[in-house]
């Protein structure tokens, strides 16, 4: 998996768009970040999962998914090791992350 492939998978999701924060590319739905590239370095991406979803993805592919450091990681922020990631599993993680963010945005509107 390359950063460009991660980007193309993220942007293939409905209404997803690319932006940036703190020097890293990020991917958003309804203005909310669901994934990033380049953290902690260029060989990683991240997805915003729930802690339960994070555990599930880590069980399926422990060489790909790991919690991010600190409170973010305990809250579900999940690191993706690009070199080990496969398209189908990353696509699934990105879809779940985008739906998580979209549902949070909808709850805040309502």
**Residue ranges of domains in the chain:** 3-109
Q: Which pLDDT does position 107 carry in this prediction?
A: 58
Element of type H or E holding 58 = helix 51-60
Separation CA 54–CA 93 (nearest Å): 9
Report the pLDDT averaged over residues 27-54.
96
CATH number of the structural domain 3-109? 3.90.1150.30
Does residue 30 have a pLDDT over 60?
yes
Residue 109 pLDDT level (bands cut at 50, 70, 90): low
Q: In whole angstroms, how far apart are CA 8 and each of 16, 87, 94?
A: 10, 11, 11
């Amino acid at each position: 998996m390359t950063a460009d492939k991660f980007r193309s998978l993220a942007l293939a999701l409905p209404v997803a768009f690319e932006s940036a924060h703190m020097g890293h590319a990020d991917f958003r739905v309804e203005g909310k970040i669901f994934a990033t590239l380049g953290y902690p370095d260029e060989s990683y991406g991240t997805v915003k999962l729930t802690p339960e979803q994070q555990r599930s993805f880590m069980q399926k592919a422990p060489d790909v998914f790991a919690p991010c450091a600190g409170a973010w990681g305990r809250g579900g922020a999940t690191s993706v090791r690009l070199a080990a990631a496969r398209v189908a599993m990353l696509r699934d993680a990105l879809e779940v992350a985008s739906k998580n963010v979209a549902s949070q945005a909808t709850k805040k509107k309502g």
